[in-house]
Copies of this chain bind each other. A is one copy, B any other.
Amino acid sequence: MTRRPTMNDIALDAGVSRATVSLVVRDSDQIPESTKQRVRASMERLGYVYNRVAGTMRGGGSRNLGLLLTNIQNPYLAEVSMAVEAAAQESEYTLLQGYSLGDVERERRLVRSMVENQVAGLIVMGAVESDGSAFDGLGGPRAVPLVTILRPIDSVAADHVGIDDRRAGRLLGAHLAALGARTVAVLGGFEGARMLEARLGGLREGLAGSPARIPTSMVVTDDGHGNYSSETGAHLVAELLERGSCPDAIVTYTDAYALGVHQGLRQHGIEPGADVALASFDNIPTAAQIHPTLTSVDSAPHLLGAEAFRLLTSRIAEPGGVAESVVVEPHLVIRQSTALWAPPTPA
Contact = CB atoms under 8 A, between A and B. Distances in A.
Contacts of A325: none
**How many monomers of this protein are in the complex?**
2
Interface string A66-100: 00000111010011011001100100101111110
A49 B229 contact: no
By size class, the interface of chain A is 35 or more
A237 to B, nearest CB: 13
Contact of A53 (B56, B106, B140, B141): B56
B75 A118 contact: no
A225 interface: no
Contact of A2 (B112, B141, B260): B141
B289 A137 contact: no
B117 A52 contact: yes
A259 B286 contact: yes
In the A-B complex, list the 4 residue pairs whose CB atoms are closest, starting with the nearest. A259-B289, A97-B97, A52-B116, A230-B289
Interface of A: 2-4, 47, 49-54, 56-57, 62, 64, 71-73, 75, 78-79, 81-82, 85-86, 89, 92, 94-99, 106, 109-110, 112-118, 137, 140-142, 229-230, 256, 259-260, 262-263, 266, 285-286, 288-291
